Each structure stands twice: as C-alpha cells, then as structure tokens.
Structure 1
C-alpha cells in the first residue's frame, strides 16, 4: 500500500503542474544597472602587466589599461585593431599574415603614486579610475565607442598633477610570434623584408603615427587632444587601408566627425547600445561567482566581435607578445563560439559563418589532393582571416594531421542554423567539409 501511495503521488507531480507563489523572473523585471553593478570588475590597486588590465572594445578597436611593468610610476593604454595584419602574399600565416601590434599611450604622474584604483562598469562599458599622488590626483575615464571607431580617454587632474606626461609609443610592426622564438625558427624571407619604421606627424591638434607595411597596406593611429585647465580629453582612432593617403583621410574624418557632434550625446548613445545588449542573454545563478563569470564573459564577447565585424581570433582587438597571432581552428574557435547559441547570441557568431561561406575557394584549396578540391573543403591548424591554411599530410606521423577541424566547426554551424531555423546554406558547407572523409574511404 505504501508503494502504491508513492507511485500515485509521483504521478500527480507529472500530471498536475507544481504551483509556486514565486513569480517567474524575466529580463523586463530586472533593474539592470543595479543587477550588473554587482558584477563590475574592480581593482583596489591597478596591477602591472597585460593580463591584469581592464580590456575594452567594440568588436574592432580595443584598449587595455594597466600599470606599466617596465616603468615605475606609470600607466598604459594599449591600442589595438583586430584586422591589422601583415597581409603579405604567400609564406606562413603566423608571420606573413599575422596580427600586428600598434602601440600604447603612457600616463606618467609627476609625483610618486600613493594609491590607485579603477572600476569597469559592465552596464555602461565605461572604465573609471583614480590615481592619488603626493602632490595631487588624476581621475580618468575611458570607453571604446559602441557605434564609432573612437576610443575616448578623459582625465581630470588636480594641483601639481596637471603637468602629468602623456606619451605615445609605436610598437615594432612585426609578427608577435617572432619575439618568443629563436631567430632560426622565423622564415628567412620574412626576416629579410622587415616593415619600415613608423612615421610621426603633427598637424595642429592632431597627431599621427603612420606605419607602412611591406605588403603595401598602411595603418595609422591618430589622436586629438583638448585640454582645459586640469581637464583633458583625447580621441583616438586607427585606420587600416591600401594607401597612406586613404588611411590619413579616414582617421581625419573619423575624429573630425566626432568632434562635430555632442560629446554628451555620443556617450549616451554608447551606453544605450550596451544597455540594449545585455537583456537578450538574461539568466541568473545561485552561485554569485558563477553569475559574475557569466556576465563578464557576455561583456567580453561584445568587446571581441559584433555581427558585422570579424572572426574572433586568439587576440581580439588587443595585441601582446604571443606565439598565437592568428585564428586557431583545432580548439579555440570551437570553444569560443560554443556558448553563444544557448546564450541567445546568434548574431555574434555571424562573422564566422559569413567568412566560411565567402572563403569557400580558400577552404577548397586547403584540401591536399587537387582532384578532391572541386567538392571538398578543409582548414589546417591556424590561419589569418583569408582562411588559407592547407592540410599537411606529412604531419600524420606526428599525430598533427588535423583533417577534422572544419567538420568540428560545422557542428556549431548546425547549432546556429537549428536555433535560427534556417538550413538553406548549411547543407552545402557540411557536405564539402565531409567530402574529404569520403575520399579517404574511397
């Protein structure tokens, strides 16, 4: 009888929905400013080093703010742009088409720093900080505009600190992979054709650091500074074009158009984009640490890419000395994009699918047997945005013949199409990625 009673009770739970006095919480019920402020990133002391910084971005431009680890009593703002690559023909993807560093600003207080701190607001995507010295303070605010290719850096200095230094340093235009390696591991033709040194120009309130590349491409960082008393506002942008003239025109227009607008309205527009971004991925967790981790990752994803931007590589819109200045297809792409679909972030994965569809010729050329290339596709371990990285059968003995990279990516393409309920383009790409397996079996 006891067993029958328990079975009956269990069936009741299956048939009749449980009643609860608690209201189901939706994104519309959330005070987003208060909710996300719990998960803001805080520095009670600004740490030294790239991996300790406050990263910010709009899917193309980025900055990373941290204390200098090589200069005492100084802070730096690294400047990056995702599509700035060597862009050379032929050669190796990790050198001839590698991501390139751009440079950084250094803020040097006049007197010894007593304390410093900063807070990155997830809700507004704005960093605010304070540097206290023996003879004054420097408050700063930074954001990467969500709509425009502009980085806004504002400071408010008091007393003797109104004379702090603000210095630009261009990084050497060389693949970051070159720096951790011994010279014998770097392609000879890459070493033999270095990029020229950058050119610095000044035109009234504008400053330019011009970097021409061996490939013929040019990237330029430009900045414009307005200073009134202890208040200073610097607008920064980066262009990447086929000629010096076009690159100069682009950075001038970007900054001048920004100056013509209302700075208060620009900031409000920036905040509004981020306020609209978060609710689509709303979820809460019982564990506060897990919840903070989740929302910080949501913030980072929108710094890394947007629906109209680029594939997420291993650097994002930032650069550092690294052996991985490219897109990695044997793990990193798959792990990076895997959480987007359940998190309702389909649009952030679209640059990946767009590239796969637009670069089908390169994917076919990656197949090692020529007669298979008319109906097959593949990609090797790593590539630049051109997706050209042929498979290397000779690596099979070392267990590094990675024929399944593209097929693994196709699993997430299937997820994307399933969530979107659109399989129109899916079948062709999956068929091509699997055709090489059919050829192996034949």
Structure 2
C-alpha cells in the first residue's frame, strides 16, 4: 500500500503471508522516505518482506528471544513491592519497542495508537520525550538513547524553531511538536514578553539534560564535544536575547510560560533550566579542558553571571 506525501516521498506498507506447517506466517514492513521517490520506497519495503520470508521462522524467533533475554539481563531490579517491580519491567519492554539509538526519538504514542482519535504522531518536547527516556540510563540501556543521536544528526534544523528576528546563526530553540528531524510545526518557540510567547522556551535545554545524563553514564567525552556543548551554548543564547538587569542588580526574564501551568515573569521553570544550562557549560569547558568561550554572543551570560558550576540533580 503506497501513500504519497504532498511534500514529496511517502510511505509504503508491504506485507505477504505464507503457510508454515499448519499455521500462517505474516511478514510486514514499512518504509518512509522524504524527500525521495515513492517507487523506491515501495521497492525497499517489498524487498524486506521477501528477505524475511526467505528465512527460517524458527531462526527468527530464536534470535528475537535471545535479544530480549540479553536486554533484560542488563536491567535487574528487585524490590519487595512486586506490583512496582512489574511496572518497571513493563516500562523497559515499552521503551525497547519504541526507540533505538539509531532510530527516531520516541513520538507521543511510540508504536501504539488509540483506536479512536488522539493519535499524536509528532514528537512532543515540552516534557514527554524527556521523561519518557529517563529510564534508559539508569537501567543500563544506552542502546535506546535516540535523544543524543537525534540531536547529533539533525542539529542543523534547530534554528528553524527560533523566531525569524533572532535567527542570527548563534541561537537555537526547539518547538513542539516537531518531526523526527527536529523540524518544527507551524510555529516557532515564540518571543518571551509578547503575545506570541509559548511554553516552548525551555524545551531544548531540558533535552540537553537527557544528553548530559548519557554522558555521565558513559563518560564518553564525544557526547560533550560533539553534541552537548555546541547545542547547549546556542540554547542558552536564546535566553540571552531576553535577559535584562533589574533595579536590584539581578537578571530577570520577561513573561514566559511554565508548560501546561501558568504564565509568569521570572518563571521558575525557565530560570531553573537556564541556571543549569549555564553551570553545565562551565562543566563542559573543564571536561574539554579549554577556556574557549561558547559560540555566539550569549557567552557573556554563563561565563560572567554564573561563575559557580553545579551538577544537575541526579548526576
């Protein structure tokens, strides 16, 4: 079944069934390409179905079960409350069904869809991706870290979420929902202190905290060098456009919004993320053993006004 997209490319779902003893074996595969040729999408989907059906189904089942056995053995948790323990295992199962480090970030529903309505197939960055993927580090499953790989591969699209008047090449933001390539929908993150303000301002810094957790669990300096540091610096730069010094000699933010809660000046949500972001940038400099300032004009915020680094909670 082919489904072309108006913007080019499209989806193809291919499936075929064959008899295996007294039973039936169904193989199905979906391929998406944009941009791209829909005929090529169909060719790839059909070929994958044929490859699967050419294999011994018992071998496929064995390899699949072996993967799951290895997966769970890295995640042992035993607590007296068995209901809580079962909940933990269920979450691990769902996470492994929903994402991979070399695949897209987890969408709102993952691979599951409601029978009627509410099928939010985009990627929600105002808390959903962040909290849905917290368990992968502590459970020893960095092979599911699609957040770090997504920002590594699609950083180039982050300026698209910045309001046009602030797209200076040194500022990043992240609107929600986005697609799996980090491209925003119809709206940017909006401008604090104006009628266009949204609850999107802190999305990108919060996502960087997930990447910081991956660094802390692996101590892989490439995560800091190639993903966290360059992106976090430009995410902090977004706030630098709007910080102002008040009569009390302290920095303040105009009206922003705490996601799904309320509007406020000096919103705790934004200030907490900004403080963490600035402190973590200073940590990054020490990790990278450099005193070179972050790219962009916003470097003044975190090098001058937040001189004392602090580790984020849970690190």
- Shorter-chain TM-score: which interval? 0.5 to 0.7
Displacement of 1:352 in angstroms is 1.4
Of 261-270 and 283-292, more deviation after overlay is shown by 261-270
Contact kept in structure 2, 1:327 and 1:333, CA below 8 Å:
yes
Contact kept in structure 2, 1:372 and 1:436, CA below 8 Å:
no
- Match in the other structure for 1:405: 203
Displacement of 1:213 in angstroms is 2.6
Question: Which of 343, 357, 377 is matched with 2:139 structurally?
Answer: 343
Quote the Cα distance in structure 2 between the aligned partners of 1:429 and 1:438: 15
Matches within 5 A, 1:238-317: 238-241=30-33, 242-317=36-111
Contact kept in structure 1, 2:125 and 2:175, CA below 8 Å:
yes
Displacement of 1:279 in angstroms is 1.3
Contact kept in structure 2, 1:222 and 1:238, CA below 8 Å:
yes
- Match in the other structure for 1:235: 27
Contact kept in structure 1, 2:191 and 2:197, CA below 8 Å:
no
Displacement of 1:354 in angstroms is 2.0
- Match in the other structure for 1:214: 6
- Match in the other structure for 2:162: 367
Matches within 5 A, 1:3-22: none
Displacement of 1:362 in angstroms is 1.9
Matches within 5 A, 1:79-118: none
Q: What SS does the corresponding residue of 1:309 show, helix, strand or coil?
A: coil
Unpaired runs of at least 5, structure 2: 245-315
Cα distance, 1:332–1:395 mapped onto 2, change above 3 Å? farther
The superposition leaves residues 229-280 of structure 1 with CA deviations (integer Å, 9 ceiling, x where unpaired) of: 8522222222224334212321221122222222211111111111111111
Quote the Cα distance in structure 2 between the aligned partners of 1:270 and 1:229: 21
Contact kept in structure 1, 2:190 and 2:196, CA below 8 Å:
no
2:169 maps to 1:377 = no
Contact kept in structure 1, 2:189 and 2:197, CA below 8 Å:
no
Q: What SS does the corresponding residue of 1:306 show, helix, strand or coil?
A: coil
The superposition leaves residues 294-320 of structure 1 with CA deviations (integer Å, 9 ceiling, x where unpaired) of: 001111100001121110010212334
Higher strand share: 1
TM-score in terms of structure 2 length: 0.67
Which structure is richer in relative contact order (CA contacts within 8 A, separation 6 or more)?
1
Quote the Cα distance in structure 2 between the aligned partners of 1:304 and 1:339: 13
Q: What SS does the corresponding residue of 2:103 show, helix, strand or coil?
A: coil
Higher helix share: 2
Q: What SS does the corresponding residue of 1:233 show, helix, strand or coil?
A: strand
Contact kept in structure 2, 1:304 and 1:316, CA below 8 Å:
yes
Larger radius of gyration: 1
Quote the Cα distance in structure 1 between the aligned partners of 2:133 and 2:61: 30
What is the CA RMSD across the aligned residues, in angstroms? 2.3
Question: Which of 215, 223, 226 is matched with 2:15 structurally?
Answer: 223
The superposition leaves residues 136-188 of structure 1 with CA deviations (integer Å, 9 ceiling, x where unpaired) of: xxxxxxxxxxxxxxxxxxxxxxxxxxxxxxxxxxxxxxxxxxxxxxxxxxxxx
